[in-house]
């Protein structure tokens, strides 16, 4: 494959993955995650049952109410995910042959392919384990990680390098870690349907103190809607994970803002992009609380998180250590021409 076509394919994979992340959030937030109770098909078919006799047979076989609208949302998500699988396979094979031209380490070339397999398993477990919050959150994090990996590949192969000093690169890694932790917390809020558990802003239910039940909400063995003891989740538990998500937003804001300010003079365009992504994401988070989580804004909030992740990935994927040329090296080159 030509190098120019490979670049186009890499960027197409990035855009495709971004769209898939948005589509996945739409499916989850519209309560269509179990629109198809089996995997990888839908009620034993590759499409959603539509005819009356098909719906009746599916309802009798699976013992559930068939909702074709929700089923189509889930199946379209699976079709788009299947397209990404094919794209990643082709991209991995082509990149392996040209990894030196793209300055790509071998682990980065194969990481998306390995992640595709894990994402397929998580997608299956999301259905078979009935939207278990820990599994749904892991699936969301896997999609965001896929976006970061493919973005790193595309960025390293197309855009110019950024020469960033060691301190700023370290700060960028800290900001990226903060965003990844925040994605986990956001996934727990979304998968537990706790988006409206904290009424009011900036206080949560009239208080800045953490509500009861925070540690229980972080248990990975909980089923949806239940505590670790199998009891129905009280509102305080849902508010607790939402409160922690807000605290995480504060950490992300401070670290990303500090990074943007440190990059301002040397890389102003990059700093402006970071600031814009951060402001949009914070604004969307506040708007979702004040406007009672309208579906379009909730989906955009997931997209904003993905874009902020992309911006931080761009800094790290393109950055190189600041080059230092010693006086001796310059003099040697002037006299020897080497």
Find out whether 14 and 157 touch, Cβ atoms under 8 Å.
Answer: no
* Separation of alpha carbons 169 and 3, rounded Å: 29
Main-chain dihedrals φ then ψ at residue 323, nearest 5 degrees = -75, 135
What tokens were used for 144? 């965001």
CA 62 to CA 259: how far, in whole Å? 52
- Which DSSP category does 239 fall into? H
Q: How far is CA 47 from CA 55, 171, 280, in A?
A: 12, 47, 37
189: its two tokens? 């809020």
Coil/strand/helix, residue 44: coil
Look up 67 and say whether it is catalytic.
Answer: no
Q: Which of 29, 70, 73, 74 is catalytic?
A: 74
| CA angle, 79 then 85 then 89, to 5° | 150
DSSP conformation letters of 276-326: HHHHHHHHHHHHHHHTT--HHHHHHHHHHHHHHHHHHHHHHHHEEEPP---
8 Å CB contact between 90 and 110: no
User: Active-site positions?
Assistant: 74
């Amino acid at each position: 494959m030509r190098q120019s076509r490979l670049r186009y394919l890499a960027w197409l994979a990035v855009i495709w993955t971004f769209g898939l992340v948005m589509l996945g959030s739409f499916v989850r937030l519209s309560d269509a995650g179990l629109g198809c109770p089996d995997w990888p098909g839908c009620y034993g078919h590759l499409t959603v049952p539509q005819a009356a006799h098909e719906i009746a047979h599916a309802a009798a076989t699976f013992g559930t109410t068939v909702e074709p609208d929700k089923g189509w949302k889930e199946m379209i998500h699976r079709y788009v995910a299947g397209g990404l699988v094919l794209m990643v396979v082709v991209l991995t094979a082509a990149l392996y042959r040209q990894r030196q031209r793209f300055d790509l380490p071998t682990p980065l070339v194969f990481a998306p392919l390995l992640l595709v397999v894990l994402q397929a398993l998580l997608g299956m477990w999301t259905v078979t384990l009935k939207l278990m919050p820990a599994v749904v959150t892991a699936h969301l994090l896997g999609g965001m990680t896929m976006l970061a990996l493919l973005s790193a590949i595309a960025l390293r192969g197309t855009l110019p390098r950024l020469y960033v000093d060691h301190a700023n690169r370290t700060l960028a890694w800290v900001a990226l870690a903060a965003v990844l932790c925040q994605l986990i917390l956001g996934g727990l809020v979304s998968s537990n349907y706790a988006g409206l558990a904290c009424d009011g802003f900036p206080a949560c239910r009239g208080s800045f103190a953490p509500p009861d039940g925070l540690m229980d909400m972080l248990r990975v063995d909980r089923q949806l809607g239940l505590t670790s003891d199998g009891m129905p989740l009280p509102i305080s538990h849902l508010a607790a994970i939402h409160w922690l998500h807000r605290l995480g937003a504060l950490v992300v804001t401070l670290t990303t803002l500090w990074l943007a300010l440190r990059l301002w003079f040397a890389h102003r365009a990059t700093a402006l992009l970071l600031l814009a992504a951060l402001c949009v994401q914070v604004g969307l988070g506040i708007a979702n609380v004040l406007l009672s989580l309208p579906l379009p804004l909730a989906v955009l909030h997931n997209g904003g998180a993905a874009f902020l992740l992309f911006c931080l990935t761009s800094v790290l994927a393109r950055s190189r250590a600041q080059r230092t040329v010693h006086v001796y090296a310059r003099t040697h080159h002037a006299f020897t021409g080497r």
